[in-house]
Structure 1
Amino acid sequence: MELNSKQQKLDEQVDSARQQLSDDGASLPLLTMCELVYSRPYAVLESVAGDTNVDNLQVAIWRNHLLEFSRTKQPANHTISLQLSGQRVHRLDKKKPGVIPGRFAILPAQSASVWQSEGETRFAHIYFTPKFLNTLATEAFDVDSDRFELIEGELLQDDQLQRLSASAVEIFFKPDKPLQLETNSLAQVLGVHLIRGYSNLFSPPDRLQQEKLTPTQLEQVLEYIDANLERSLSVGELAHLLKLSQYHFLRAFRNTLGQTPRHYVLHYRVSKAQELIRQGKPNLADIAYQVGFSSQSHMTTAFKQVVGVTPKQFRKAI
């Protein structure tokens, strides 16, 4: 069948099914109505996680079937598309080579595209709202958001972007619900990497490389973390405390302590758990919740990562 005929058939399916997908659209705010329609039956949404209102990004795993066309029609979100496995996928509307496993496509919001695969393929899509990246560009690079433009690309090879994308998949689809601080930090780092490497903007000013928290700011934020350790903490909350943008807070915190807020909070929670175990607190589940872990298993994983042994093994050794 000719490509135009395929597109026309898909367009007709969109028009007829749009009314039936309101519930899907409400539950998946970044997966636009058109993406959901075009996924049937040409692609299958295996799983989706994240909330742009909380995490600033959303991650989805798609599986496309053999030799079928799929089309994203003017999506509302920016997309990082990483092919996880399968055959080469070609972009037909621009006659470009497309992507292969381990390579990326960057698809800005409102950019329609038509693709064809040589076989069954599996993709991870990471979605950002234009509002989030525009705000981040303004805060991090001191430019008017109207100047910011994400540049599309296919068959991209970027080791850092691959590591960050793999981290996003791992964090959002692990058994324990990710911490908001964790997802916010990842969104910030991924967003800045996109702006630096795949936009029309220049590099940030050198002064940002040297930015640090003042002693007063550091004391204030560490005392706040200690006082609120039992609950979920976000980067936005900590940045707001110091009246800084999230980007500048992340950079200043890392430049001051040599680690991200997420790593600091994780290690601090583990150290507090060690302290409570030494004090003879009997219930490990109670300790986990007291120091802010979502479950005992979450604490056990973090504890072993930081200390090298599990909480039970640590208790036996003291």
Structure 2
Amino acid sequence: LNAPEIHLCAVSKTRLSSFWNHLMLGGCYWRLYHHTAHGAGVFLDGKKIELVPEKVYLLPPNCNLRTWSDGIPEQLYIHFEVENISGSRAHLLNGVELAKAGCVAGILEELHECFAQENCPPARRKLLALSLLTASIAKLPKEAFSEIDCDRRIINACDFIRSNTDKEINLSMLAHIAGLSENVFLRDFKAQTGSTPYQYLLHVRYTQAARLLQFGNCTIDEICYMIGVNDRFHFSRTFKRMYGVPPAQYRKHLQEQASAEE
């Protein structure tokens, strides 16, 4: 019996503030959120929904929900992909109540503690994240997701993108890797991932850029080079569109947050 593979894209914590206002949560990956306090959430069907501390939330790929924040809660977030599992447009915000979710609350507490420890091994953090994801997904109603037939050729193309963000990647190259014509590859890729190859590449690159801004000391120019973007102006403009603020301001916010909590 082969279980669906989970690929971790990001596992982190941040302090939300005004930058969380009016973001559009797009992208080809699932999201798990837990807020430690009140004061931030999303708009769903025009209604302002708060992400409360008593729940963890799972959002499917390409949910395109707009965010809001009038407080500064701490947010634990995990971005991830699940092979063979697709979300439902009728279930864009799935809350799992911690009081009724058995082991989910315990794993979540351990993961929060791991972030609080300076010497917590990254491997343990990833294992706790994977445990939290599997336990949380198992609590979703069956209507919240569906199984899809995964084409190994498309999976190989996705793996290539994730491993080669610093390289120039185009449709012709990816179709060749998959052994398909460009039109067939484009159709099958979108059917399996819910996004075009370009959209997939874009979100992989800029998720990596956000991690480098948060945890690394690289300059903006160095980050552009590392994620395969040649134009710094284009990088800054796209980053602002995806994260709500320019990259330099994003880094400054995180540094000020870290200093305030020391």
Q: TM-score, normalization: structure 1?
A: 0.35
Structure whose alpha-carbon radius of gyration is higher: 1
Q: TM-score, normalization: structure 2?
A: 0.41
- Which structure has more RCO (C-alpha within 8 Å, separation ≥ 6)? 2
